[in-house]
Structure 1
């Protein structure tokens, strides 16, 4: 038995150097950066966003539900109150920069419903402390493209955020939609003027002045050509496939700040 132990001991001595070298390699590997792609960090809005959903819209086209799937907003029950700013037709003043402190503390909410069934929505029963209106803007979503004021949930939330000075979160929301940049493109000039306003009265004044100078509103986009439809179908699975329907724009406005247009105006003078 002793010899057996001794023989194993010799074998152990011969392997000890290998084990030591292996340990050193493992330590070196630990000091080297791992060849792994870092996980993409989830983008989180700087303010709390919420939505009352009355189930009147097409689920495939509902922008509010899509934002909820991305965990960018919280869905509220009808009997749940909201202490922040709520975009609602029962409001008596426009959302503006003077609401930003409340939005930062309590959040911003929207009511998801169909424009054709507004009378079926009990807006007055929704418990909110600060209902607000939006000024005149043009919709860019595929359902109501070119129609004044008939904004989708994501357009309404983004517009309110821009008016309050929170452009980063607005770009985050619009960036989830293929047509999101079109909303900023169609409304670039008026959004720039609205964003300079400090309160609701100034926004209304800018709105009225703007409307008095306008002679036409954006037209409906032309029908998609067959090859455009085929290109969209060959793009693979996407959560945005049902949101196509707009002609491509040459420039993505999602990451262009409103101040940039002011510099362009100065350079052109």
Structure 2
């Protein structure tokens, strides 16, 4: 399974979760959008369709494509979101990384990829990715109830319903 990250060079390289996982061989870091795998699940915070267990086969066959950029510049860097079809957003989760700890939906790239893997049922791989960070296992613990609920959903609509119930929408 491929996890390919387009790195927009907008972050503090010392704190960058993608670059660390790239050095560890867990992510492939690319600097050109043409290097993203065709047909991959594209993590897109603007997508109306949420990641769900029904995406498992796509993730296994085609992989995950993510954008590593500053949350402050995500709209400017979002050209990646115009290049693919299989866009998915993540449902409500809380960040555990030191930069955005406790902030809802402002996840690091590592957290976003791990959450995707967890939701589609690849929980061991999600745990492995988070194990590279001191705070990583805490991300999974902090969000365990929601991640488990999302991973039991049938499809994107059910994931969104679970999210709505949780946040009171």
Q: Name the TM tier (shorter chain).
A: over 0.9
1:135 maps to which residue? 91
Q: Supply the distance in 1 between the matched residues of 2:80 and 2:15 (Cα, whole angstroms).
A: 26
Map 1:219-238 → 2, pairs under 5 A: none
CA shift at 1:188, angstroms? 1.4
After TM superposition, the structure 1 stretch with the greater mean CA deviation from structure 2, 117-126 or 167-176, is 117-126
Match of 2:71 among 90, 101, 115: 115
Residue number in structure 2 paired with 1:73: 27
Which residue of 2 is the match for residue 62 of structure 1?
A: 16
- Structure 1 gaps of 5+ residues are 1-46, 214-269
Contact 2:33/2:80, CA 8 A, preserved across alignment: no
The answer to whether the Cα contact below 8 Å between 1:88 and 1:123 also exists between their aligned partners in 2 is no
1:222-261 → structure 2 map (5 Å cutoff): none
| Aligned with 2:49 (options 93, 102, 109) | 93
Q: Using structure 2 for the length normalisation, give the TM-score.
A: 0.93
Which of the pair has the greater relative contact order for Cα pairs under 8 Å at 6+ separation?
Answer: 2
Q: Distance in 1 between matches of 2:23 and 2:32?
A: 19
Q: Work out whether 1:49 is the aligned partner of 2:17.
A: no
- Specify the alignment match of 1:152 in structure 2: 108
CA distance in 2 between partners of 1:149 and 1:99 (Å): 20
The normalised TM-score by structure 1 is 0.59
Q: In 2, are the aligned partners of 1:100 and 1:164 still within 8 Å (CA)? A: yes
Structure 2 residue aligned with 1:174: 130
Q: Which has the larger radius of gyration?
A: 1
Q: Give structure 2 stretches of 5+ with no counterpart.
A: none
Query: How far off is 1:126 after superposition?
Result: 5.0
